[in-house]
Structure 1
Amino acid sequence: MTYESALSESRKEAAIISQRLHGLRLKSDARSKTAAACFAIAQQHHSSILILLSNRPALEATAMALLRLLLEATLRGLWVSRCATDEQVDRIATGAKRQVDMASVITELGKLFNLKSARSILYDKAYHVLSAYTHTYEQQVQRWICTNDIEPNYQPDEIVCLLERATDAMRLAAEGVRAITVMDKDKP
């Protein structure tokens, strides 16, 4: 898939997801509202990635950095809705100190979904690379010093991969939203 076709497909998928979620009625308990906030933040990160990559010239460095934030918002929303204790939900909602770290979030989600390798794959292997892009470590800097000039040098396949992972995260966030939706049978 080419960069442009991947960007076009990601835009189409974002529009479909937005249309499917528009107008849904969400549960009003603290857990659902907190999870919904995480999923809404994820949706904004996804939209921002698409905007940054649609710019000419594309702003790949910032789009790459946002992938970690998108993934974190999605995973934290799933964790809040499915794993967090009431006390943990309250701490997030009120801004209290001592939030649960992402390694623990991933580990708990892995147990919930019976994914034995979730921590190994998502945290131990992928998270440090995502962090490198977010915090301007080696993977991010190396894309700027490939030639004698200081300029971005992201390969099209890297951007296609970014778009695919971002869209996967957005699909997961959308499923999380649907799980906290009031169904007709739940209406009073």
Structure 2
Amino acid sequence: MQLDHLLARAQSLAYRISADFNGQPLPPDRRACAAIGCLTVAQQHHCGIILLLRDDMPVHASAFALIGHQIETAFNALWLWYCASEEELGRFLADGSGKTMRQLVAQVDGVLAGSDGPEAALLRDHWARLSDFVFSGERRIRHWLNANEVDAMYAEEAVIELLELSNSIAELGLASFRTIHDKHFTAPRSGEAAPVRLDLAK
């Protein structure tokens, strides 16, 4: 079944992301730390969606609700890294970005459009699916509006769309983590704070 195969691929991706994240040095730079913190949360949302869908009684509505948080958190990371001014970074650390998901996605896309980095390439590859979810209205209740009877199970086609989108955001987050880590990870110089070890297992 296509969904079972996609769930297995999603779980394999989640393990690969965890292997990349776990135990890596966290640079002593507040912008990098804030962005990586967001990416870590987004990665946990990806894992949560997989668990909700793999359960013997799949919790579809909650998985559809969680995808919005995964997208928003991942794009907060991209916005912090590529878009936010120092003043905006300070406000984020105190109160959050204050931006809607649509604003975050649009601003990040505006900055990355035309660039050659891995995040930009992934964004272009998955833009149709992402923009359909973010900019085309509330998709997660469409099943309930179209159904003729009460049914807790969403159509397999809708669940497949959800999982493909979640995987694409997870891949985008992994690419962003690698960009940030590769730029900032250097051996500490004399008088510089040593990197903190990042462990998602805690």
Matched, 1:7 2:10: no
The residue number in structure 2 matching 1:34 is: 34
Aligned partners of 1:147 and 1:102: how far apart in 2? 31
> 1:71-123, CA deviations, whole angstroms, 9 ceiling, x for partnerless residues?
11111111101110111111111116x723333322321222225x98x9578
> Quick one: distance in 1 between partners of 2:84 and 2:110?
13
Residue 158 of structure 1 corresponds to 158
Aligned position for 1:50: 50
What are the residue-to-residue correspondences of 1:66-77 with 2, within 5 Å?
66-77=66-77
Say whether residues 1:126 and 2:133 are aligned partners: yes
CA distance in 1, matches of 2:55, 2:177: 29
Q: 1:29 to 1:46 in 2, by over 3 A?
A: same
Equivalent pair of 2:130/2:165 in contact (CA under 8 Å): no
Q: Counterparts of 2:108 and 2:170 in 1: how far apart (Å)?
A: 17
Aligned residue in 2 for 1:141: 144
Counterparts of 1:4 and 1:124, CA distance in 2:
25
TM-score by length of 1: 0.81
2:118 corresponds in structure 1 to none
Contact persistence 2:101–2:134 (CA under 8 A) = no
Question: Hey, what's the Cα distance between the residues in 2 that align with 1:121 and 1:28?
Answer: 36
1:147–1:105 CA distance, 2 compared to 1 (3 A): closer
* Partner residue in 2 for 1:108: 107
TM-score, normalised via structure 2 length: 0.76
Alignment pair present for 1:25 and 2:18 = no
Equivalent pair of 1:129/1:139 in contact (CA under 8 Å): no
Equivalents in 1 of 2:22, 2:137: separation in Å? 30
Distance between the aligned counterparts of 2:136 and 2:56, measured in 1?
A: 26
Match of 1:93 in 2: 93
Partner of 1:183: 185
Q: Classify 1:123/1:101 alpha carbon distance in 2 versus 1 (closer, same or farther; 3 Å).
A: farther
Counterpart check, 1:64 vs 2:72: no
CA distance in 2, matches of 1:130, 1:76: 20
Unaligned runs of 5+ in 1: none
Contact 2:129 2:165 in 1 (8 A): no
2:196 corresponding residue in structure 1: none
The 2-side partners of 1:153 and 1:43 are apart by 25
The sequence identity of aligned pairs, in percent, is: 21
Contact 1:70–1:169 (8 Å) recurs in 2: yes
Deviation at 1:131, TM superposition (A): 4.0
Q: What's the Cα RMSD here? A: 2.7
